[in-house]
Structure 1
């Protein structure tokens, strides 16, 4: 990993020479701003490393993170409706359409019409799609297992509560249900 070099505040008046009148700031933000930089930066770095291994695998297929998310949720809930996937991912139909087309064309996902409503599109993984989803999840699972190795069950619950609290309040119930069942709330309600 490259060294991170953060400039330190200097007593050098050369900083004044840098100011071209555009409001140049030469001092770093600090905790005096009331912002938890340590936690924000830990989240940045954790997310970077959490996604690094799957990103490398995805590059081999010329796929990106959107492909990863679609593969994940289709494999977690085979037969998921496109509408439910859009709700989960919070992306546009156009963005999902592009990603789905690539995954269908390359044989990772199959799209079928709904049994009662022919306008409905249901998504299923293929064996190749399941295999790729698992290959993407394994390094992430190993990273989580390693991070939790020394955590007590109580500490794990604190971590889960923290992560749930990071989700928008109005969506927490739906996410909690999905995590427990692997099914979008709309499907739970119709069963």
Structure 2
């Protein structure tokens, strides 16, 4: 855990006080922003924790969860598209996918127009697991949004979308099927 020893900073303007030089000539990060980064770490830890525990019971992990999630949300997803979504190597995906196929969570089929394509679909077993994991995570998100107040959902969605790299935003907007973020 990082101890933040910088003095409390007052209100920040739009740009000037975002960073201050530290004695060795480097840039000292804004303590307020460092705390946001730390909150993201803790939120992600807890957001994934319950799902990780379920997956661990059956010998799977977070990489399997990501595949299950996106195949659940996009039945018939091409392997090539999944690689782009996850930004992982073919080798990394192959290992995870093999386990999911061998354990009966995912099926692979050839593309109808291009037989070289591999299309991914969840089995009933895979669908049940994906739904269980989504239920855990949406319950946590719903509780957090409820306690954060009436405007929290819109602000949170806007913040998270702004965290996505500019070059990826159109693809993410299409993937999450939210017209609010379509460009």
| Superposition TM-score tier, normalisation by shorter sequence | 0.7 to 0.9
Q: Is 2:71 the partner of 1:112?
A: no
Per the TM alignment, residue 122 of structure 1 is displaced from its structure 2 partner at its CA by 0.3
User: Please, which runs of 5 or more residues in structure 2 have no aligned partner?
Assistant: 7-27, 179-183
Q: Distance in 1 between matches of 2:3 and 2:131?
A: 38
TM-score (normalizing by structure 1): 0.76
Q: Is 2:146 the partner of 1:135?
A: no
User: Please, which runs of 5 or more residues in structure 1 have no aligned partner?
Assistant: 10-31, 182-191
RMSD of aligned Cα (Å)? 2.1
What SS does structure 1 have at the residue aligned with 2:71?
helix
Report the CA distance shift for 1:42/1:110 in structure 2 as closer, same or farther (over 3 A).
Answer: same
Q: Distance in 2 between matches of 1:40 and 1:92?
A: 27
Out of 73, 80, 85, the position equivalent to 2:82 is 85
Per the TM alignment, residue 7 of structure 1 is displaced from its structure 2 partner at its CA by 9.3
What SS does structure 2 have at the residue aligned with 1:149?
helix
Q: Is 2:123 the partner of 1:126?
A: yes
Per the TM alignment, residue 173 of structure 1 is displaced from its structure 2 partner at its CA by 1.1
In structure 1, the partner of 2:173 is: 176
Per the TM alignment, residue 178 of structure 1 is displaced from its structure 2 partner at its CA by 1.0
Q: Which has the higher contact order (CA 8 A, sep 6+)?
A: 1
Q: Distance in 2 between matches of 1:59 and 1:123?
A: 23
In structure 1, the partner of 2:161 is: 164
In structure 1, the partner of 2:35 is: 38
Per the TM alignment, residue 62 of structure 1 is displaced from its structure 2 partner at its CA by 0.9
Q: Distance in 2 between matches of 1:5 and 1:88?
A: 32
In structure 2, the partner of 1:19 is: none
Per the TM alignment, residue 6 of structure 1 is displaced from its structure 2 partner at its CA by 4.8
In structure 2, the partner of 1:70 is: 67
Per the TM alignment, residue 155 of structure 1 is displaced from its structure 2 partner at its CA by 3.0
Q: Distance in 1 between matches of 2:146 and 2:80?
A: 38
Q: Distance in 1 between matches of 2:160 and 2:88?
A: 21
Q: Distance in 2 between matches of 1:92 and 1:33?
A: 32
Q: Distance in 2 between matches of 1:94 and 1:66?
A: 13
What SS does structure 2 have at the residue aligned with 1:117?
coil
Could you say which structure has the larger radius of gyration?
A: 1
